[in-house]
Every structure is written in C-alpha cells, then in structure tokens.
Amino acid sequence: MENLDRIEIRDVLLRCIVGINEAERKNKQDVLINIVMWADTRAAAQSDDIADAVNYRTVTKQIIEHVEASEYFLVERLVERIAQICLRHERVQQVQVSVEKPGALRFARSVGVTITRTRADLERA
C-alpha cells in the first residue's frame, strides 16, 4: 500500500485442531503462520515510543492464544480470524496472512491458504 511500511512476523509454529477428518478433530496439528502488516511507522520512528507503534509482540500473543484454543474445520476460517485479530489494532491498515499445514498432503511439504484483508474488510465483517 502506498506510504505504508511492512511489519513481518515469520514462521510462527503452533498446534491446533483444524481439519475435517476424524483424526484431525482429535489431535492437534502443526500450523505455520506468516503475517505481513502494513502500517505507517513514521510516528514511531520519530518518537521512539511504543505507543506510536504497532506492538507486534501484543499481536503475536493474541494470535497464539487464539490459534492454540481454536477448533476450526477449515484453514480458510482460521486464516480469516488471524487477519481480523491483526486488523483490530488501529494502526494496521492491511494484512496478509498465510497459514500452512505441514504434511497435510501426501507428497507435499505443506498446504496452505494466504489472504489479504484491509481495514474496510474488517468493518464489513
């Protein structure tokens, strides 16, 4: 996005219930999460004050708590919820979230879903 900076959270490996098969409903599986948030970081750079920044530690803690407690059937639902968590932080204008399930498909390292959402999408939800 124009005049916005990228904040990246890479390779968050968590375990949760996600899937439609019986075994997936009983046993937590690994999910690999990658996030890019777009925000104007100039105020934080100028002030050197966390109050002017996207506190990515807080965002990450909220995502960890949500994912580890979640029980979704579809990765699509999980990835959407993570995007909503990110966009609830007022400085985040847009987010791209990718969630992969390593080993979910035979012969594939992983399978995943990537979405991009904006603040306007959050307001419509």
Please identify which of the residues 26, 28, 61, 101 carries the catalytic annotation: 101
What is the amino acid identity at position 124? R
Other CB atoms within 10 Å distance of the CB of residue 4? 16
Which residues touch 23 (CB under 8 Å, ≥6 apart)?
none
Convert 8-34 to b/e letters by CB count within 10 Å (16 or more is b): ebeebebebbbbeeeeeeeeebebbbb
Whether 101 is a known active-site residue: answer yes
Pair 18, 75: CB distance under 8 Å: yes
Residues forming the active site = 101
